[in-house]
Structure 1
Amino acid sequence: MDLLGHSANGDGQRHLLVDHLRGTELRAHRYGDRFGAGEAAGYLGRVHDVGKGTCAWQDGLLRAEPTNGRVGIPHKHAGTLLAQQAGLGPLAGVVFGHHGGLVSRPGLKEELQAARGDGEHAASVQEAIDRVAQVMPEILDGPGLPGWVRDAYAQDPLVLDVLVRMVFSAVVDADRLDTAEHIDGLARPDHPVAALDLADRFEKARQELLADRSPSPVDGDRAYVYERAVSAADGPQGMYRLPAPTGSGKTIAAGGFALNHARRHGLGRVIVAVPFMTVTEQNADVYRGLLEAEGEPPAVLEHHSGIDLDAEAAAGRRWAKLAAENWDAPFVVTTTVRLFESLFDRRPEAMRRLHRLAGSVIVLDEVQSLPDAMLVPILSMLRTLTDHFGVTVLLASATQPAFFELSPLKDIAAREVIAEPKPLYNRLARVNYRWWTDPAPTADQLARTVAGKPAVLTVCNTTTQAQRIHTLVQEHRDGDEPVRHLSTRMVARHRRETIAEIAELNRTATPVAVVSTQLVEAGVDLDFPDVFRAYAPAEALQQAAGRCNRSGRRERGTVTIFELAHDDGDGQSSGGEFIYGPLLGITRMFFGDGLAWPDDPEALHEYYVERFKQTNVETKGRQIQKARQDGDFPRVAELFEMIRDVTVPVVCVPDRYAQERKRIGGILRALREGAPAGHLMRELRPYMATLPRGYVTGKAAGLMVPVVGDLYEWIGDYDKQRGIEIADTKESQF
């Protein structure tokens, strides 16, 4: 009787176990070759399902086949033992975890003990090995660890952590692809285009874009930044920095660097990661316009929690749904949360894409937004990827943090895209800073001043403060000139449409006053002659200034940094102490009236050095680094947290989208009845806002109805401009 690996597909064909093991081996070997671990990855693919060779498992498959149910018999131990006996050490955990996730080193040791001698699984393990070896004797011949690992480990003990993750990814992806090929009856070859093939297409499209644009006074400096990026791309692989002021064309310059560097070094992929979903969507649109040509295979994969991959498939872009499983695309635009939480995860589906990072360029945009507490493990991971896995990293930001003063990078020098950035910052200094802090204005004084400006942006530190200032500006604004609001109290669709409306008012030079939270600062392409910014850390002040005189069409814009006097507001002078803590005091050491301006690169460097010292950045990631050295993958996944979980999502359909209420209500009912969340959650995202977690039992108690998990339905008031507002309305929409 032939040994089976999977039950019959739609054509009635069963998947022979030998065919599955060899198919997985070939793919895993190819993926592992990219980082010098092809033999090891291939062997692990060869043995990963050997445990299916027992009579009990084979009989179980035949019983489960009519209902397409689960076999329910463990099959991981046999391949795990073979991998350990082959000298693959911690890589044996790849086989044991290929369904349930990577386990800790002690956990793996216990499972190996259960697989040998008089252990719980010893008899079935030996039966499986004997039966499979009769038809596939090569399972008994293993390669040992890759030869380069010993020297690399002496240089960087954490190389073993990353190697296990990368090989795990290669084997999991190979296994899933081979299984899918059997189920679908269709081969899934890799994407036919590599990043190294796209540089000329990008440059041609860029030239056409420039020809169609209206000239701007900053075009010369944008061209300089782009030329420096393309020139730097000829350098060796490693870690690069792109410091350039806001509005200097970093998005296109970073793409130009990445694609030309990929061509220079024969790299297959570019991954662009940005911290905010709105910027991810914006950047993906830019790159699609420059890289996707009619008649050519799609090149840009946009992958984040806000993208509805089922809708993409329904619209004829099924490739995007498939490519998102394993980042099989030459150009990927994602979020830093998705990138780094995958790198530090332990689950197969989250890690499946990681092997695609080998031999790639990773562009990290707006790197000042990386969380301080996670910097040491993040930079350590990036260092290992660049040193041993063929990765080049580009750190792009107008406010470059002093990352190379921290321990993971302290012994190397950054490769600078712009060697002397200060003259560029001086040329592109398009604003004057004014400090309105002593005496501090009241909220009403601020609102009266803002209301008197024809076109003005005010950035607040909290949603409560932004709603209050917006209300006051509306009261003091003369005539019919619009006053708009932006915050996460508005559902995502409402925010997107408001940003588009403001951008159009900017474009036509129509007066508008905008009151926003920080969400407007990173990469949102708005332009005002006057910007007011609540006192915040230096990088936030400069990011706000990036929305002032952005196009350089005025001689100078004005950025006013304010602190509100304590009054009947939110209990903080400008909400900053609550949000930013000690960072405000460190900012005051370097920036302010009579001190440096926030766009001074040298002062920013000193600010970051002091900030990292005072906030003990070096110690914050110590537990994660120790868990990585110990091979404790579950502990690493538990400790690594890109975003503090201090808010909850709430679903609300404002009156402006009333036609959607029936559909959204049906989705909420389905979720409450236990329907799988997946695509249903994606359908809800345009109608989600966020509220502080404490509101659930605090000031919004009774207005937030549980749906599933941390998701709530909002049944309170929704202002047509400001979004969710706390009131006593308790009548459900659905």
Structure 2
Amino acid sequence: MDVWGHSANDDGNRHALEDHLRGTQRRARGHAEVFGAGEVAGYLGVTHDVGKATCEWQNGLMRAERTGGRVGVPHKHAGAWLADHVGLGPLSGVALGHHGGLPSDSDLRNALIWADAEGAVSVQEAIDRVARDVPEILKGPGLPTWLEHVATVDPLVVDLFVRMVYSAVVDADFLDTEEHFHGHPRAEHGLQAKDLANRYEERRRAKLKGRMPSPVDAIRSRVYEQAIAAAAGPQGIYRLPAPTGSGKTFAAGGFGLHHAQVHGLRRVVVAVPFMSITEQNAQEYRDLLELPGEGPVVLEHHSGVDLDDAAAGDRWARLAAENWDAPFVVTTTVRLFESLFDRRPAAMRRLHRLAGSVLVLDEVQSLPDRLLVPILSVLRTLTDHFGVTVLLASATQPAFFGLSPLKHVPARDVIAEPAPLYQSLSRVAYEWWTDPAPTLGEVAQRVAGHRSVLAICNTTAHTSQLHRLVEHERPEGRGPVLHLSTRMIARHRKETVARIRALNDGDHDVAVISTQLVEAGVDLDFPHVFRAFATAEAMQQAAGRCNRSGHRDTGRVVVFDLTDPDDPEKRGAGGDVVYGAALGVTRMYFGPGKAQPDDLDALDAYYEERFALTNVEPDGQEIQDARAAMDFPKVDRLFRMIDEYTVPVVVTDHYPAQAERIRHILTLLRSGVAAGGLLRELRPYVAALPRHLLTGPAATLVAPVIGDLVEWLGDYHPLRGIEISDSKEYVF
């Protein structure tokens, strides 16, 4: 009898199970060959759907075709049983979880026990029927010899190997199924990162010729030249310590592409902590890598990009985002590490694309302390066993190589002697306004007196209060007073940043009051910056928005330590709600009579002390233990890049032209319509509120939509966005 793998496509043709198994085998083998697992992945590809061969499943498929429903018959056990019986051990979970996600070791054991007992008849029926046409399912390839040796020393290598193979197989499964239903295979991208280095150089030279000269151009050129020279080195983990304004974005991209050219690598993946930087950097790289009339080269993939548009370029982005089939990817660290520590197919399809690539982690000081051990551990495994080179880029390089995952790993420095570079790019003078500590009103008076100034607070509450005070104190005709925080919806923030940048470029008066969201990678330039006392890296990042292009002899950064009694960082011991114990460590090393925030020796000592006091090693151990135990669901639960104490809030009326459409989407979501594309359409109109406020004064001002998403029913200030008085609010 005919054995089918999928129902009929639009042409009326069903998908033969043998064709699907062999198609998945071929693709999975190709995906995994780059990390030496081609035969293993191919075997799991050819066995993953063997369970569909039972009469019960085939009858369910016919019924589903007639009714439009689901098959409703499990089919995952036969492939898992085969993988286990040919000695693939934990890799049998790839077959068991190819739809629902990688299982825990105990769930896998229970499933295999079921397949040997209650399910034995159906499992054997499926195997016998498939083996007649695909006999290779009965004999597995065995584990790669390198893995068998390493696994006895480091079980965490097995964890990542299983994840990589899973990624290769589920992506192959998706692509083969897609080909059947669409009638044609998806074309692979024609370019790889190794092909793009010369293009990057030519376009960069042309771009520099057309730019306004800057006093720091010579320093930026030296940074770039050192990055290109370092790219000729061996694969491994590199550090790029470069002060803000030194051309780090261009240098990191140049390093990645030239290193790919030297070593024949497939892609460069740049990961940054914030969407605002992702958008900015992606456009910079597009300008250098994409040619008129040619298809897209740079994939920008983050939660704020709407990838459902039907236009040709956007359709490419939507498809490429599923599995990162692009030579140059710009994403967020959340997306990247979601792929590395998740367990679900949709999140993990792209993971195998990291093998044989250059991974640039920008603004690495923003990685959360509590997750550093698992993050650094997986980065080391990628470089040791999967052909990945990692570049750690930051103006404030944390002391990562003192932590256990990297303690014995050689650190290769792109900038051989960074201290002179920091000295030559020192464009600001710090002023410590701490004794006596000022009130917020006194800060407002000084801020209002400058024609072009940026002030950064530690909380949304202080940011809003200071904005109102500066508006009141600002002399008439001195220029606008603008505000930035996540209380503003995404589109509003983006437009405000663009307006500030235009005012900067035109040398117009403007005062900006912001949370720390302007500190990492947002290209703004002010002669005066005021910064509430914060961690050393936050203060240095703030200084990066001061005299950024070096057009002034010296910019001024005023660090103020508020005396306000409701200031969160004054409450309790051990730090504050925003920065935790790291703030106390900062006070040990930086301040009046102590080091400046750009002192590299003081930064090294600060990070070592901070990592010891904030329990970085023990905090990450629970995740490491779960990885070693092959408990993929537990790892997924524990690994959260973003603390879930904020709630997304849709604002309907700030953009009147879009208000009717937004309300219609909310109605659809509340009625149960599939959320995916609709949620993406809403993202420009979403702000964030602390979860605890929804049980307090704001509870009556929101209406539930779906999941955590709520609709804002209150007022929305045209400059400050959502306003609720609460001194305990967190900042983003």
- State how far apart, in whole Å, the 2-side matches of 1:692 and 1:227 are: 45
In the other structure, the counterpart of 2:729 is none
Q: Following TM superposition, by how much is the alpha carbon of 1:297 offset from its aligned partner in structure 2, in angstroms?
A: 2.6
Structure-to-structure mapping, 1:13-412, within 5 angstroms = 13-116=13-116, 119-311=117-309, 313-314=310-311, 316-412=313-409
- State how far apart, in whole Å, the 1-side matches of 2:717 and 2:7 are: 55
Q: Following TM superposition, by how much is the alpha carbon of 1:626 offset from its aligned partner in structure 2, in angstroms?
A: 0.4
Summarize the Cα distance change of 1:574–1:443 in structure 2 as closer, same or farther, 3 Å threshold.
farther
CA contact (8 A) 2:228 2:258 kept: yes
Structure-to-structure mapping, 1:571-590, within 5 angstroms = 577-590=576-589
CA contact (8 A) 2:440 2:564 kept: no
Query: Which 4+ runs in 1 deviate beyond 6 A?
Result: none
Residue 530 of structure 1 pairs with residue 528 of structure 2: yes
Q: Following TM superposition, by how much is the alpha carbon of 1:577 offset from its aligned partner in structure 2, in angstroms?
A: 2.3
Q: What is the TM-score of this pair, normalised by structure 2?
A: 0.97
Tell me the number of residue pairs that the alignment of Structure 1 and Structure 2 aligns. Answer: 722
One-letter amino acid of the counterpart of residue 411, structure 1: H
- State how far apart, in whole Å, the 2-side matches of 1:78 and 1:315 are: 40
In the other structure, the counterpart of 1:436 is 433
CA contact (8 A) 2:308 2:314 kept: no
Q: Following TM superposition, by how much is the alpha carbon of 1:315 offset from its aligned partner in structure 2, in angstroms?
A: 5.5
- State how far apart, in whole Å, the 1-side matches of 2:571 and 2:592 are: 18
In the other structure, the counterpart of 1:672 is 670
Give secondary structure in 2 for the equivalent of 1:202: helix
RMSD: 1.3
Give secondary structure in 2 for the equivalent of 1:251: helix
String of CA shifts for 1:542-581, please: whole Å, max 9, x gaps. 00000000000111100000011124x5565599823112
CA contact (8 A) 2:245 2:548 kept: yes
Q: Following TM superposition, by how much is the alpha carbon of 1:654 offset from its aligned partner in structure 2, in angstroms?
A: 4.2
Q: Following TM superposition, by how much is the alpha carbon of 1:67 offset from its aligned partner in structure 2, in angstroms?
A: 3.6
Q: Choose 140-149 or 569-578, whichever is displaced more.
A: 569-578
String of CA shifts for 1:321-357, please: whole Å, max 9, x gaps. 1111111111111100011011101111111110001
Give secondary structure in 2 for the equivalent of 1:25: helix
Give secondary structure in 1 for the equivalent of 2:155: coil
CA contact (8 A) 1:535 1:574 kept: no
String of CA shifts for 1:8-27, please: whole Å, max 9, x gaps. 10011111111000000000
In the other structure, the counterpart of 2:730 is none
- State how far apart, in whole Å, the 2-side matches of 1:131 and 1:520 are: 62
- State how far apart, in whole Å, the 2-side matches of 1:650 and 1:192 are: 41
Give secondary structure in 1 for the equivalent of 2:455: strand
In the other structure, the counterpart of 2:542 is 544
- State how far apart, in whole Å, the 1-side matches of 2:86 and 2:38 are: 15
In the other structure, the counterpart of 1:649 is 648
Residue 605 of structure 1 pairs with residue 604 of structure 2: yes
CA contact (8 A) 1:652 1:689 kept: yes
- State how far apart, in whole Å, the 1-side matches of 2:362 and 2:580 are: 25
CA contact (8 A) 1:566 1:572 kept: no
- State how far apart, in whole Å, the 1-side matches of 2:569 and 2:372 are: 29
- State how far apart, in whole Å, the 1-side matches of 2:237 and 2:156 are: 18
Summarize the Cα distance change of 1:67–1:328 in structure 2 as closer, same or farther, 3 Å threshold.
farther
CA contact (8 A) 1:4 1:15 kept: yes
CA contact (8 A) 1:717 1:726 kept: no
String of CA shifts for 1:590-631, please: whole Å, max 9, x gaps. 111111100111111110000001111010011000000000
One-letter amino acid of the counterpart of residue 608, structure 1: Y
- State how far apart, in whole Å, the 2-side matches of 1:79 and 1:588 are: 58
Q: Following TM superposition, by how much is the alpha carbon of 1:278 offset from its aligned partner in structure 2, in angstroms?
A: 0.5
Give secondary structure in 2 for the equivalent of 1:87: coil
Give secondary structure in 2 for the equivalent of 1:396: strand
In the other structure, the counterpart of 1:732 is none
One-letter amino acid of the counterpart of residue 521, structure 2: G
Summarize the Cα distance change of 1:203–1:476 in structure 2 as closer, same or farther, 3 Å threshold.
same
Q: Following TM superposition, by how much is the alpha carbon of 1:650 offset from its aligned partner in structure 2, in angstroms?
A: 0.6
In the other structure, the counterpart of 1:476 is 473
One-letter amino acid of the counterpart of residue 602, structure 2: A
Query: Which one of 680, 683, 700 corresponds to residue 698 of structure 2?
Result: 700
Q: What is the TM-score of this pair, normalised by structure 1?
A: 0.97
In the other structure, the counterpart of 1:9 is 9
In the other structure, the counterpart of 2:728 is none
CA contact (8 A) 1:156 1:384 kept: no
Q: Following TM superposition, by how much is the alpha carbon of 1:152 offset from its aligned partner in structure 2, in angstroms?
A: 2.0
String of CA shifts for 1:472-521, please: whole Å, max 9, x gaps. 00101001221111111111111111110010110011011110000010
One-letter amino acid of the counterpart of residue 628, structure 1: R
CA contact (8 A) 2:652 2:663 kept: no
In the other structure, the counterpart of 2:616 is 617
Q: Following TM superposition, by how much is the alpha carbon of 1:112 offset from its aligned partner in structure 2, in angstroms?
A: 0.7
Q: Following TM superposition, by how much is the alpha carbon of 1:319 offset from its aligned partner in structure 2, in angstroms?
A: 1.1
CA contact (8 A) 2:519 2:542 kept: yes
Residue 490 of structure 1 pairs with residue 488 of structure 2: yes
- State how far apart, in whole Å, the 2-side matches of 1:376 and 1:384 are: 12
CA contact (8 A) 2:272 2:363 kept: yes
String of CA shifts for 1:27-80, please: whole Å, max 9, x gaps. 001111110010100000011111111111111111111344211111111111
Residue 713 of structure 1 pairs with residue 704 of structure 2: no
Q: Choose 314-323 or 72-81, whichever is displaced more.
A: 314-323
CA contact (8 A) 1:24 1:174 kept: yes
- State how far apart, in whole Å, the 2-side matches of 1:113 and 1:142 are: 20
In the other structure, the counterpart of 1:730 is none
Structure-to-structure mapping, 1:632-647, within 5 angstroms = 632-647=631-646
String of CA shifts for 1:99-143, please: whole Å, max 9, x gaps. 111111111111111111xx1211000000011111111111211
In the other structure, the counterpart of 2:419 is 422
CA contact (8 A) 1:541 1:598 kept: yes
CA contact (8 A) 2:93 2:103 kept: yes
Summarize the Cα distance change of 1:86–1:612 in structure 2 as closer, same or farther, 3 Å threshold.
same
- State how far apart, in whole Å, the 2-side matches of 1:388 and 1:561 are: 45
- State how far apart, in whole Å, the 2-side matches of 1:297 and 1:471 are: 48
One-letter amino acid of the counterpart of residue 461, structure 1: N
- State how far apart, in whole Å, the 1-side matches of 2:97 and 2:662 are: 38
String of CA shifts for 1:234-277, please: whole Å, max 9, x gaps. 00000000000001111110000000000111100111100001
Q: Following TM superposition, by how much is the alpha carbon of 1:396 offset from its aligned partner in structure 2, in angstroms?
A: 0.3
Q: Following TM superposition, by how much is the alpha carbon of 1:316 offset from its aligned partner in structure 2, in angstroms?
A: 4.2
Give secondary structure in 2 for the equivalent of 1:135: coil
String of CA shifts for 1:625-654, please: whole Å, max 9, x gaps. 000000000010011111111111111134
- State how far apart, in whole Å, the 2-side matches of 1:585 and 1:101 are: 42
Q: Choose 606-615 or 153-162, whichever is displaced more.
A: 153-162
Which ranges of structure 2 fall in alignment gaps of 5 or more residues? 726-732
Q: What percent of counterpart residues are identical? A: 65
- State how far apart, in whole Å, the 1-side matches of 2:302 and 2:157 are: 28
One-letter amino acid of the counterpart of residue 415, structure 1: R
Give secondary structure in 1 for the equivalent of 2:404: coil
String of CA shifts for 1:258-301, please: whole Å, max 9, x gaps. 00000111100111100001101111111111111123231111
Which ranges of structure 1 fall in alignment gaps of 5 or more residues? 728-734
In the other structure, the counterpart of 2:447 is 450
